[in-house]
Each structure stands twice: as structure tokens, then as C-alpha cells.
Structure 1
Amino acid sequence: MKLDRFDRQLLNLVQEDATQTAERLAEKVGLSPSAIQRRLRRLREEGVIVRDCAVLDPKKAGRPTFFVVSVQVERERPELLAQLREWLAAQEHVQQAFYVTGEADFVLIIAAHDTETYDALMARMVQENPHVRRFTTNVALSVVKRGLTIPIPEETDD
């Protein structure tokens, strides 16, 4: 899907705050509210916008602990990797999972209420995915920045 200048502006604005009204977005982008609504609908239908969500303040939402985990698997057999990917995607405490290059095969961001919850999750991961060779854990001491915004350049060379 080709994104024009208006689409790119709109994507940056809704990533910043998805609760903005079509009227407010129209003022910022320079289109009519109905054109904004059509574009947003198209961007959702085309899968550019996957979902709208609320970003919570961890301190006010129960103070979860964040764990950054590197996971190594024994063999990179496609069916075993697919099984682990599905397992990770189904876990509510796994916020993000990346298949990566380097020493680790996966890097995970996990939010858990406490270390016991984290420990139980990792024990299940190893038990239900026996091809996981090892994992290393870093505990986040504080959150410096957290987000999912993807910078969209408003102008392109196309």
C-alpha cells in the first residue's frame, strides 16, 4: 500500500494520541473530517493500523516489574521456532518478542507483577518448549522510555 503525505501525517498523529477526533485531526492535516474518517478506515482495513490501545502508567497500574530476556534455542528447526513463536504470542505477560540475530535467538520484554510470576512463566516456557537451551534475564530498574511509535517521515523521495 502506498502512503501519501496525508496518510503519513495522519499515522504520526494517531500514534501520538488515537483518541483525537476526526475534526481535530482534520485541522492538523488539512483535510475534511469525512476524508480523515475514510483514510483511517482504509488504513485499518489495509492492516497499516493494527489496533488502537491505551498506554498505561506502570506505577499507577500495579507497578509491574519489567524483564528483558534473551532466549537461545538448541536448533533452529522451522517447526520448533514456529511452536515457540506461537507459545510466546499467547502469553499475556510477554509484551514484545523479537526473533533476532546474534548470540540469542529471541529477545523478550516481559511485564510481570513480581519475580514469582516471572519465574513461573519461564519454568512453563522451558517445560513446554524443550528445545529452549537457555535464557538470560535482565531486570529493569526503571523505565526511561516506553512506546511502540514508529516514526513515519512525512515526505518521501518516491
Structure 2
Amino acid sequence: MKLDRFDRQLLNLVQEDAGQTADQLAEQVALSPSAIQRRLRRMREQGVIVRQAAVVDPRQVGKPTFFIVALQVERERPELLAQLRRWLAGEEQVQQVFYVTGEADFVLVVTTPDTESYDALMIRMVGENPNIKRFTTNVALSLVKRGLTIPVALDDEE
């Protein structure tokens, strides 16, 4: 899908706050509210906007613990990687999964209520995925910044 400057402006704005109304967005983009609604609908239908989500303050919901996990696999056979990817994608506590270069094969962002819950998750992960060679864990001491915003250039540089 070809994105013009208006689409790009809208993407930046809704990534910051998807709860804005078409009228509020129209005040920031030189388009009518109906044109904004059409563009947003088209970008959802075309898969540019994948979903909308609420960002929750962890302190307001029990102060979960965040873990950054570097995961190494034994063998990088496609079927074994696909099985592990499916397992990770199905776990609610695994927030993000990156397939990476370097010493680790995957980097995960995991959140659990406490270290005991994290330990249970990792025991289950290793038990259900025998291709895992090892993992290392970093515990987040504080949350400095969290987000999924992808900066979208306003001009047509691709």
C-alpha cells in the first residue's frame, strides 16, 4: 500500500494515542474527519495498522516484574524454530520475541507477577521445547520507557 504524507501523519498520531477521535485528528491533520476515518479504515484493511491496544501503567495493576531473556537453541532447523515460535507466540506472559543475530538466537521480553511465576514459566518452556540449549535472564530494576511506536517519516523515503 502506498502511503502519502497524510497517512504518515495519521500513523504517527494514532501510535501515540489511538483513542483520539476523527475530529481531534482533523485538528492536527489538514483533512476532514470523514477523510480521516476512511484513511484509517483503509490502513486497517490493508494491514498497515495491525491492532490497537491500551498501554497500562504496571504500578496500577500489581507491579509485575519484567525480564529480558536471551535464548539459545541447540539446532536452527526450520521445523524446530517454527515450533518454538508458536510456543512463544502462545504465551501471554511473553510480550515480545525477537529472532536475532549474535550469541543468542532469540531475545524475549517477559512479564510475570513475581520471580516464582517467571521460574515456573521458564521450567515449562524448557520442558516443552527440548531444542532450547540455554537462556540467560536480566531482571528489569525499573521501567524507564516502554512502547511499540515506529517513527514514520512524513516524506516518501522508503
1:115 paired with 2:112, answer no
Matches within 5 A, 1:42-121: 42-121=42-121
State the match for 1:138 in structure 2: 138
Give the RMSD, CA atoms, in angstroms: 0.8
Q: Deviations over 1:99-141 (max 9, x none)?
A: 0000000000001000111011101110000000000000000
1:156, distance to aligned residue in structure 2 (A): 2.5
What SS does the aligned partner of 1:9 have?
Answer: helix
- Per the TM alignment, residue 157 of structure 1 is displaced from its structure 2 partner at its CA by 4.1
The runs of 4+ residues in structure 1 deviating greater than 6 Å are none
Q: Secondary structure at the match of 1:134?
A: strand
Partners of 1:87 and 1:143 lie apart in 2 by 26
Instruction: Please say if 1:154 is aligned against 2:154.
Output: yes
Counterparts of 1:119-130 in structure 2, within 5 Å, are 119-130=119-130
Instruction: Give the alignment's TM-score, normalised by structure 1.
Output: 0.98
Q: Distance in 1 between matches of 2:61 and 2:10?
A: 29
Q: Report the TM-score, using the length of structure 2 for normalisation.
A: 0.98
* Distance in structure 2 (CA, Å) of the matches to 1:67 and 1:27: 40
Whichever residue aligns with residue 77 of structure 1, its letter is R
What is the rounded CA distance, in whole Å, between the counterparts of 2:35 and 2:156 in structure 1?
22
CA pair 10-78 structure 1, distance change in 2 beyond 3 A: same
Unpaired segments of 5 or more residues in structure 1?
none
CA distance in 2, matches of 1:156, 1:38: 21
Q: How high is the sequence identity, in percent, across the aligned residues?
A: 74
> Partner residue of 1:24?
24
For 2:83 and 2:34, the matched residues in 1 are separated by: 44
Which residue does the alignment assign to 2:5? 5
Cα deviation digits, residues 65-106 of structure 1 (max 9, x gap): 000000000000000000000000000000100000000000
* Partner amino acid, structure 2, of 1:90: G
Distance 2:86 2:75 in 1: 17
Q: Distance in 1 between matches of 2:26 and 2:88?
A: 39
> What is the aligned residue count?
158
Distance 1:28 1:81 in 2: 44
The separation in 2 between residues aligned to 1:75 and 1:154, in whole angstroms, is 42
Letter in 2 for 1:97: V
CA distance in 2, matches of 1:30, 1:20: 15
Alpha-carbon distance in structure 2 between the residues aligned to 1:71 and 1:20: 38
